[in-house]
């Protein structure tokens, strides 16, 4: 799969589908928030091992957010979630 951005103003087809970057951005943000919340709750409950697993998941979400933002900027145009 090429890492290039989808050409701007192109309609989605079978060969050139619409980009799912906005959905990935929303899901990664949700994953980050929920992982941080669960990690804090587990640390407060005295369960450090599961809490560190959620910290690891939060770190993966941050990396995904960075990758998605870089791809969205490479795509150009306006940066609305509702494109």
Q: Which residue has the higher pLDDT, 32 or 81?
A: 32
Between CA 71 and CA 76, with CA 75 as vertex, the angle to 5 degrees is 125
8: pLDDT confidence band, cut at 50, 70 and 90? low
Q: Identify the residue whose tokens are 């928030």.
A: 33
| Cα 78 from Cα 80, distance rounded (Å) | 6
pLDDT band at 72 (very low <50, low <70, confident <90, very high): confident
C-alpha angle 65-1-67 in degrees, rounded to nearest 5: 10
- The whole-angstrom separation of Cα 63 and Cα 67 is 6
pTM score, two decimals?
A: 0.73
What is the separation, in whole angstroms, between the first and last Cα of the chain?
A: 22
């Amino acid at each position: 799969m090429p890492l290039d951005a989808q050409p701007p103003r192109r309609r989605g087809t079978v060969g050139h589908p619409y980009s799912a970057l906005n959905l990935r951005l929303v899901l990664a943000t949700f994953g980050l928030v929920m992982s941080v919340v669960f990690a804090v709750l587990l640390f407060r409950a005295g369960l450090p091992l599961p809490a560190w697993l959620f910290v690891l998941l939060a770190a993966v979400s941050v990396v995904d957010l960075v990758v998605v933002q870089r791809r969205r900027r490479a795509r150009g145009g306006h940066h609305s979630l509702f494109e």
